[in-house]
């Protein structure tokens, strides 16, 4: 079993085609499950902890735990959608095969995140500020996501229908994964924050956060709704001094 | 490169998705069961949306999500059969029932697959507009897949027709598609979550 797990681990990186064929073919997928889940937990944990080096302290532990958790929860949410979309578009794979394929893709993506961790660490160490750091992390997620979707595409078939299935699945994954990660935030933690919470209170949504970070990285700050309501009015974003909610973090 | 995919016959036992979306025609009872399963699965998506407020809203959303598909099945597909028969297309009630059951089951299955993600988004996103957008996206995706299944099944029945009659049938299919979109949309817009009530 151990040798099979190590072989599957190696295949995750070197041979996505073999992983895809194994998922499609059925059979004993346990070594693949174990290898993929290990890669996911280890890879996402390392990347999460690296992100937290911008804040340090307890945030390192929290982010190292929360990022793998967010990815596993996302997998649980999106696998049924993937299975249904593929079946609806004429590629009915077995449910266990779908789980294997999705888990393997997530594990592969997590390994890409590990490879990108030194870049993240160096960037923060060289003084990368908070909002550009958020965008750099998002770019890393995008790269990892592409590596993962490549494996998924091989699993459902490298043709127009396969591309359509993967595109629709990617849309679901983006929405569900983004919102899940948003619920599990903060991963970086604001340097100015006094305490390090494990979870933030529910507010806004992932999409709002993406918009706000994009604007903030260019020096345009928006006041969050909580602050706006407290002041009873909405401030103009550019004509007045930049104000942002002190507890906002990702 | 040619790739092999498990088919219904080669992977024992076939998954629920494979059975619901199979192009193989079955008896009327099995087709009705497939249709019923699709409508039941669609209700799961409604339940997920109703979780935003809970209570009676769960039932309202579950009923409305299924009703959109049921309306197309009850009002649209028999009408399509009649119109296709008028232009002497080689369609039979059994074949149309099979095509309709397959398409509605596919749409319902996709809605059920989207239900876990929809529940997360409906419960955790504050903005009613954003939740309405997510809801519409899910319904559009599932409805689109169901419609593609139906039109491809019907087009398969028409493949041996002369070009002129096939053109008429395709025009009817196009008209039916527009009607089905409007009808399902009309019913689905009764979902409280789309009316800005939540």
pLDDT tens string B66-122 = 999 999 999 999 999 999 999 888 999 999 999 999 999 999 999 999 999 999 999
Q: Is residue A34 part of a domain?
A: yes
B129 CB neighbour count, 10 Å cutoff: 9
Distance from CA of A151 to the nearest CA of B (A): 14
Q: Is residue A99 part of a domain?
A: yes
B115 with A80: Cβ contact below 8 A: yes
Q: Is residue A95 part of a domain?
A: yes
A93 with B6: Cβ contact below 8 A: yes
Predicted TM-score (pTM) of the model is 0.82
Distance from CA of B86 to the nearest CA of A (A): 30
Q: Which domain holds residue A98?
A: 2-184
pLDDT digits (tens, 9 = 90+) for B124-176: 888 888 899 999 999 999 999 999 999 999 999 988 888 888 999 999 999 99
Q: Is residue A26 part of a domain?
A: yes
Confidence of residue A236 (pLDDT cuts 50, 70, 90): very low
Dihedral angle sign, alpha carbons of residues A175, A176, A177, A179? positive
Q: Is residue A145 part of a domain?
A: yes
Q: Is residue A222 part of a domain?
A: no
Contacts of A176 (CB under 8 A, 6+ apart): A74, A77, A78, A81, B117, B120, B121
B117 with A93: Cβ contact below 8 A: no
Please say whether the beta carbons of B61 and B49 come within 8 A.
yes
Q: Is residue A196 part of a domain?
A: no
Residue A221: predicted pLDDT: 65
B5 with A24: Cβ contact below 8 A: yes
**Is the pLDDT score of A202 beyond 70?**
no
pLDDT top residue among A189 and B120: B120
A32 CB neighbour count, 10 Å cutoff: 26
- Counting the structural domains of chain A, the total is 1
A87 with B141: Cβ contact below 8 A: no
Q: Is residue A111 part of a domain?
A: yes
Contacts of A47 (CB under 8 A, 6+ apart): A67, A110, A113, A114, A116, A117, A120, A140
Residue A189: predicted pLDDT: 73
**Is the pLDDT score of A111 beyond 70?**
yes
Q: Which residues on chain A are in Cβ contact (under 8 Å) with B17?
A: 83-84, 86-88, 92, 95
């Amino acid at each position: 079993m151990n040798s099979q797990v190590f072989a599957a681990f190696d295949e995750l990186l070197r041979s996505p085609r073999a992983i895809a064929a194994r998922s499609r073919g059925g059979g004993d997928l346990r070594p693949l499950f174990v290898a993929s889940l290990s890669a996911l937990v280890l890879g996402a944990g390392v990347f999460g902890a690296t992100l937290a080096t911008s804040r340090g302290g307890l945030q390192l532990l929290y982010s190292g735990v929360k990022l793998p958790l967010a990815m596993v929860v996302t997998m649980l949410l999106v696998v049924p959608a993937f299975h249904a979309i593929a079946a609806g578009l004429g590629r009915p794979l077995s449910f266990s095969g779908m789980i294997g394929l999705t888990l393997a893709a997530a594990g592969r993506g997590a390994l890409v995140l590990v490879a990108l961790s030194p870049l993240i660490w160096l960037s923060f160490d060289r003084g990368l500020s908070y909002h550009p750091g958020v965008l750099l992390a998002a770019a890393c997620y995008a790269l990892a996501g592409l590596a993962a979707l490549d494996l998924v595409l091989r699993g459902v078939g490298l043709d127009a229908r396969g591309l359509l299935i993967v595109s629709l699945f990617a849309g679901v994954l983006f929405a569900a994964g983004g919102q899940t990660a948003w619920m599990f935030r903060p991963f970086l933690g604001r340097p100015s924050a006094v305490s390090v919470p494990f979870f933030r209170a529910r507010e806004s949504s992932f999409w709002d956060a993406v918009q706000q970070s994009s604007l903030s990285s260019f020096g345009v700050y928006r006041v969050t709704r909580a602050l706006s309501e407290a002041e009873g009015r909405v401030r103009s974003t550019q004509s007045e001094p930049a104000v942002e909610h002190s507890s906002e973090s990702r | 490169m040619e790739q092999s995919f498990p088919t219904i016959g080669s992977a024992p036992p076939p998954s629920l998705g494979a059975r619901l979306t199979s192009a193989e025609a079955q008896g009327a009872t099995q087709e009705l069961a497939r249709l019923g399963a699709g409508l039941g699965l669609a209700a799961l998506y409604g339940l997920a949306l109703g979780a935003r407020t809970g209570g009676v809203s769960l039932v309202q959303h579950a009923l409305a999500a299924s009703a959109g598909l049921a309306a197309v099945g009850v009002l649209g597909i028999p009408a399509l059969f009649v119109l296709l028969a008028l232009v002497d297309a080689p369609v039979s009630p059994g074949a149309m029932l099979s095509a309709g059951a397959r398409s509605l089951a596919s749409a319902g299955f996709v809605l059920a697959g989207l239900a876990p993600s929809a529940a997360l988004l409906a419960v955790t996103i504050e903005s009613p507009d954003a939740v309405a957008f997510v809801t519409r996206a899910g319904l559009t995706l599932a409805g689109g897949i169901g419609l593609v299944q139906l039109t491809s099944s019907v087009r398969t029945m028409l493949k041996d027709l002369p070009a002129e009659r096939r053109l008429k049938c395709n025009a009817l299919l196009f008209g039916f598609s527009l009607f089905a979109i409007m009808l399902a949309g009309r019913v689905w817009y009764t979902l409280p979550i789309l009316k800005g009530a939540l």
